[in-house]
Amino acid sequence: MSTKAITPRLADRLCSLAESQLQMQAARSAALDGGALGVMAVDSALAAIIIATRGAYELWILALTLLGLSAGLAVRVLRLPATEQNGPLVVEILEARGANADDTIEEQLLDDLAHETLANENALVRKDPLITSAITCLLFGIVLELAAQVLQ
């Protein structure tokens, strides 16, 4: 037995931990995508209101620009890859079982789960700042339009 060998009990715990992490990452990705859709909806509604009211001092143009930037960032969030990889398919495991020992399959399963967890985390790291920037631009656009309305 090599020093790299993992006990079956530890392997079960590691698989459970990896599955839990993958589920949390998928939920986080869905929440970020939902947030991006919400930002886009608010951007559209506010743009319609701004165009209809056209505030003072031509600040409405700047407010629309910020809302456009916010919508663009939200679209970018949606275009980034989501956390689609959620572990190996059961069919792949069954096919591998015929050719390999259970210990080898366990190691491959853990390796696959570890790689997919890392890939998902990298995808989420790229989405987080984009949605934050989209919301920030949205808020600045709102504040600017409110200031224009007060100045009227």
| Distances 86 to 105, 115, 117, 119 between C-alpha atoms, Å | 17, 10, 8, 10
How far apart, in whole angstroms, are the C-alpha atoms of residue 78 and residue 71?
11
Q: Give the pLDDT confidence score for residue 1 in this predicted structure.
A: 37
Per-residue confidence at 44, pLDDT binned at 50, 70, 90? very high
**Burial category of 145 from C-beta neighbours within 10 Å (exposed 0-12, middle 13-18, buried 19 and up):** buried
**More confident of the two residues 59 and 7:** 59
- How does pLDDT run across 98-138, given as a tens digit for each residue? 666 666 767 777 777 788 888 888 888 889 999 999 999 99
Q: Which residues, including other chains, have CB under 8 Å from residue 47's CB and lie 6 or more apart?
A: 64, 67, 68
